[in-house]
Amino acid sequence: MAMQGAHAAFALAFFVSAATAQDYPTKPIKLIVPFPPGGGTDISARTLANKVSESAKWTFVIENKPGAGGNLGVEQAVRSAPDGYTLVIGQTSNLAINPALYAKLPYDPLKDLSPIALIVSAPVVLVVTADSKFRSLADLLAAAKGGTITYASPGNGTVSHLAGELLQRASGAKLTHVPYKGAAQALTDTLGGQVQSFMSSVPSALAHIKSGRLRALAVSSAARSPELPGTPTIAESGYPGFEASTWYGLLAPAGTPAPVISRLNGEVNRALAAKEVRERLASEGGETLGGSPAQFAAFLAAEHAKWGRVVRESGAKVD
């Protein structure tokens, strides 16, 4: 009898959960963006939310909550009710890099969040000035093996910074990291010759590459960037398997009912299949992803391990 009661309770919980998902949502959904307006995370969030709002007739309220390398917004999300009405855009830094970079992190990305779907992945592009003597990645790395070559990044612990660390380990070259507080000053100093190269996001450097002021040597993604089809990847430049990209994904607090996660996943994938969404994300140098919650969870675990190892080997740390 006890076993029958347990089965009955499970069945009741399942049907209640399924019914909840079928009715979901009955009110606006808060979408937390852990970075300021206008950046890649914000653009991805708004592009996705706008399309889902249009196709599913759902209402999203986007809340930008920057701070602590994206940690504050994720912390707010994990402390929210797991009911599907608070979601967060996570990305490489706050889910895969920061757990190793920060001495104390107020959440565990592998335990405190329920992955919904990956949204987009965007590479880093290694650039030099148009008058640089380095015509290719091979030229720059050959010089770095005989002496120090500097590379700028938008800050310690960013994908740009750690892509340089990965490249050093893959090539045996010596690259000296010069961190900046953001991409704007790093770009200015690269153009001015204060640093010899810059690991940049594609959007930050794209206009200067197209105008001829910067030369793109290589991109860090597994495949070539649609915005820079003539620029080889680091992998095809002699380092097979190399990949270091900034990715963005949608997540909910752990414990959010599985039927709600499934409903959200379906709408996200539907939105990502739309031509205008793919074109908008591509204009930012991104490759549209999508997929199942299980695929995102497996990807997150692999990225967590990969970037944790790179952070520890680089010695980067934030108290």
- Written as six digits, the tokens of 153 are 């990044």
My answer on whether 104 and 135 are in the same domain is no
Residue 12 forms part of a structural domain: no
Contact 143, 134 (CB under 8 A): yes
Q: Please state the length of the chain.
A: 319
Residue at which a domain ends, from 184, 218, 237:
237
Q: What is the CATH number of the domain that holds 147?
A: 3.40.190.10
My answer on whether 127 and 213 are in the same domain is yes
Whole-model pTM: value is: 0.82
My answer on whether 253 and 106 are in the same domain is yes
The predicted pLDDT at position 8 comes to 52
Count up the domains in the chain and report the number.
2
Alpha helices in 91-171, H assignment, sequence order = 98-101, 137-146, 159-171
Predicted confidence pLDDT, tens digits, the chain (319 residues): 555 555 554 444 454 455 556 789 999 999 999 988 877 788 889 999 999 999 999 999 999 998 888 899 999 999 999 999 999 999 998 999 999 999 889 999 999 999 999 999 989 999 999 999 999 999 999 999 877 899 999 888 889 999 999 999 999 999 999 998 878 899 999 999 999 999 998 888 988 999 999 999 999 998 899 889 999 999 999 999 999 988 999 999 999 999 999 999 999 999 999 999 999 988 878 889 999 999 999 999 999 999 999 888 888 777 6
My answer on whether 163 and 207 are in the same domain is yes
Residue 252 forms part of a structural domain: yes
Residue at which a domain ends, from 237, 257, 274:
237
* Structural domain harbouring 138: 123-237
Residue 2 forms part of a structural domain: no
My answer on whether 205 and 127 are in the same domain is yes
My answer on whether 180 and 152 are in the same domain is yes
- C-beta neighbour count of 53 within 10 angstroms: 15
Residue 10 forms part of a structural domain: no
